[in-house]
A = this chain, B = another copy of it.
Amino acid sequence: MQADTKTQLLDAAEAVARRRGFDGFSYADLATTVGIRKASIHYHFATKAALAEALMTRYHKMVGTELDRIAGQEPTAGRRLRALITFYRDATQNGQQLCLCVAFSPSRDSLPDSLDIQMSAYRQMIISWLENVFAQAASDGTVTYLTYATTEAPALLALLEGAQLAARTEQDAAAFDRATALMMGRLL
């Protein structure tokens, strides 16, 4: 079953944005990938800024769903954090791409102002989720050398995003693993 054109455009745009950044792709690239004319894309996304917003909205929802899935599936804090680290690892496709938010960050001046809020909200969602999980860890004891949830959460998000950059630079998921090995070692 073929996805509708709008979804195909979002899929194509997300893939190329995560590989090349927001300034690294054009409507012509999407047109070629999806198999419609460049002008027709404007029917679905009037401007490239609107496309960026739609991409971020969809990505935010997708990751939110993933966080819910992890929380529903993994009982302990340690296992939840392991699952999130694995999610970030897999998201790099062995160092071929980045999380959308990481890919957009360096291009923030080229992005519409509305993306500032969306990107902050996305990061806040993850940090809040992490704070809850680290708070749980204080009870279930599945994270060693634990400090405070509000200190651990932003540190882990930064570590994950930095590990993605490492993997992208080396084009190898092993770089991600080296960066996250210390944290993984703390999780029971």
Contacts and interface: CB of A to CB of B under 8 A. Distances in A.
Interface of A: 19-21, 23-24, 98, 101-103, 105-110, 116, 119-120, 123, 145, 147, 151-152, 154-155, 157-163, 165-166, 168-171, 175, 178-183, 185
Contact of A155 (B19, B157, B170, B183): B183
A107 B162 contact: no
Given A20-B23, A23-B24, A109-B20, A180 B155 contact: yes
Contacts of A169: 101, 105, 108, 116, 119-120, 123
7 contacts: A24-B110, A123-B169, A151-B182, A152-B182, A155-B180, A161-B162, A162-B162
Contact of A106 (B103, B120, B170): B103
Nearest to A24: B23
B155 A182 contact: yes
A162 B157 contact: yes
A179 B158 contact: yes
Nearest to A110: B24
A180 B163 CA distance: 15
A168 B108 contact: yes
A73 B30 CA distance: 52
A102 B185 CA distance: 26
Contact of A145 (B20, B145, B160): B145
Given A101-B169, A155-B179, A159-B158, A109 B24 contact: yes
Contacts of A108: 168-169, 171
A178 B165 contact: no
